[in-house]
Structure 1
Amino acid sequence: MRKLNLGCGGNILQGWENHDIDIDITKPLPYEDNTIDLIFAEHVVEHTDSPTALRFFDECFRILKKGGVARIAVPSVSRIFLYADKEYLEWLCKSGLGQPTMNSAIRNIVLNHGHKSCWTGEILHALLFAAGFENIEPHFAGHSLRHELNDIEGHGKVIGDHNNKIETIIMEAVK
């Protein structure tokens, strides 16, 4: 089974091909068509604009085998708006990322961290659909119906599981 972890940062997964800046997701991916079983991209596509993200999803679709799965995690403006609680807002403030207010939380996820696009579950779902994916389903960090995709996220180790659940949306999409 061939598994790619793209934009991995420090989240090195055993048994996966882990790539960070050595593979530029804004360009065609250096793999043959229909050769990859699983793709994981956590908190990476928000560092591109939406058209580039769609082209990346097109590339994921191209290189995945039929039945292959892409697991994509992005920060969600709508999840932050709906679920940010006192603990999350205080964490933002203590981390020097803004005031402990909802508008500061939204501004942080849009304006900081090198983000170039805003995401919601609906936008992520729509762009994966536009790339040709089927059976597009939301998931929580650490949970998947496929055992190879359980407990692979690293973002919660950086910002804490509680904060990660608030700000991250994950979709799995099948070719």
Structure 2
Amino acid sequence: MTKRAAFPGWDWDDPDGLAVRLDAFSEQVAGCEKLEPVAARLPHDRADFLELGLTGIEFAAFRTTHPAGLGTDLAVLRDAAGAVASEPGTLYRVDGDRLFTQLDISEPLPFADASVDWVYAEHLIEHVTMPVAVGWLSEARRVLRPGGVLRITTPDLARYLAGYVSEDGFLARHRRRLSMLGFGPPMPERKAFLVNQIFRYYGHQWIYDLDELRHVLTRAGFAPGDIRLCGYREGVRPDVADLDTAFRTDETIYVEADLPLSAPPSTTTTG
């Protein structure tokens, strides 16, 4: 049996048709062994977070690896027994040692100002439109305590375009990596396709380079001088930078934004 035969009907030249398949794939990976409701109320302010042993929030994470992180995602989480984390405003314990709640980043965050020390999101911002991204980043800034840090990672448009122009092997390596991860049969080798897929597949809405990230972060209220380019697992807080996953390093840009101790408060509040 060929690799292509293992994916009947898969057509890389039909992004809209494959969107249904990729949604189904996302539902399959949103699982855990055991899911337990902890409370019908989320932590609201700094004291609530600390009482639960939480210091920050990881977005787009069904089960954060940070021992003091609250994991959250738009998709519902299911366990082996069929329990579903779908009740709005409910806090769940995942596999006995991590906390999770379902959140939509297009909505205001249900947390008080200055609630957490850090916010982290890996490969999330590209899945929403720019206005939604700016609104979410504004909310992330609002819930950060003075001295806190936001760390975001996303596919780097500059890396894709440099690979297209220089033919340095990046696009071929990226194609092989995605095939190894099981995203369908091997992608076409055409360079234009390999650049286009970062725009058209996986639910992506907007692709960033460093300048574009600086733009949305400054629109969200972060000062230009407090935004910096980082390396893989390098940052002001090693515990947060260590959330970076290794299999995405080939295409990823890593950026942090600080909230200085003297930062003015946000003009919008929630709760």
Q: Structure 2 length normalisation: TM-score?
A: 0.57
Quick one: distance in 1 between partners of 2:198 and 2:258? 28
Q: Which amino acid aligns with 1:15?
A: A
2:49 aligned partner: none
**Which of the residues 66, 88, 91 maps onto 2:177?**
91
How far did 1:88 drift? 2.2
1:100 matched residue in structure 2: 189
- Measured against aligned partners, the alpha-carbon deviations of 1:80-99 in whole angstroms (never above 9, x if no partner) come to 22242532233346653632
Q: Whole-Å Cα distance in 2 between the matches of residues 14 and 53 of structure 1? A: 26
Q: CA deviation at 1:165?
A: 2.3
Cα distance in structure 1, aligned partners of 2:144 and 2:135 = 14
CA distance in 2, matches of 1:40, 1:47: 15
Deviates further, 139-148 or 117-126? 139-148
CA distance in 1: counterparts of 2:186 and 2:233, whole angstroms: 26
Moved more, 62-71 or 97-106: 97-106
Q: Deviations over 1:116-158 (max 9, x none)?
A: 112112101111122121311111222213222232123x3xx
CA contact (8 A) 2:154 2:253 kept: yes
The separation in 1 between residues aligned to 2:231 and 2:186, in whole angstroms, is 24
**What is the count of residue pairs matched by the alignment?**
168
SS of the aligned residue for 2:256 comes to: strand
Q: What runs of 5+ residues in structure 2 fail to find an aligned partner? A: 1-53, 75-101, 164-169, 260-271
Q: Which is richer in helix?
A: 1
Task: Determine which of 253, 256, 261 is the counterpart of 1:172.
Answer: 256
> Does the alignment pair 1:146 with 2:237?
yes
Once the two structures are superposed, residues 60-117 of structure 1 have per-residue CA deviations (whole angstroms, 9 ceiling, x without a partner) of 1111111111001111222222242532233346653632233222111100001111
Greater mean alpha carbon deviation, residues 110-119 or residues 141-150: 141-150
Sequence identity percentage:
25
Equivalence for 1:68: 148
- Structure 1 residues 148 and 64 mapped into 2: Cα distance closer, same or farther (>3 Å)? same
Which residue, 207, 214, 221 being the options, matches 1:125? Answer: 214
Q: Distance in 1 between matches of 2:70 and 2:179?
A: 36
| Larger gyration radius, structure 1 or structure 2 | 2
**Unmatched runs of 5 consecutive residues or more in structure 1:** none
1:113 aligned to which of 175, 198, 202:
202
* Residues in 2 aligned to 1:93 and 1:56: alpha-carbon distance in whole angstroms: 32
Aligned to 1:28: 108
Deviation, structure 1 residue 39: 0.1
Equivalent position SS for 1:39? strand
Residue 132 (structure 2) aligns with: 52
Amino acid in the other structure paired with 1:167: E
Aligned match of 2:158 in 68, 78, 83? 78
8 Å CA contact retained: 1:98, 1:108: no
Compared CA separation, residues 55 and 76, structure 1 to 2 (3 A)? same
RMSD: 2.0
Quote the offset at 1:43 in angstroms: 0.9
Opposite residue 33 of structure 1, the aligned amino acid is: D
1:116 aligned partner, one-letter code? Q
The 1-side partners of 2:150 and 2:174 are apart by 28
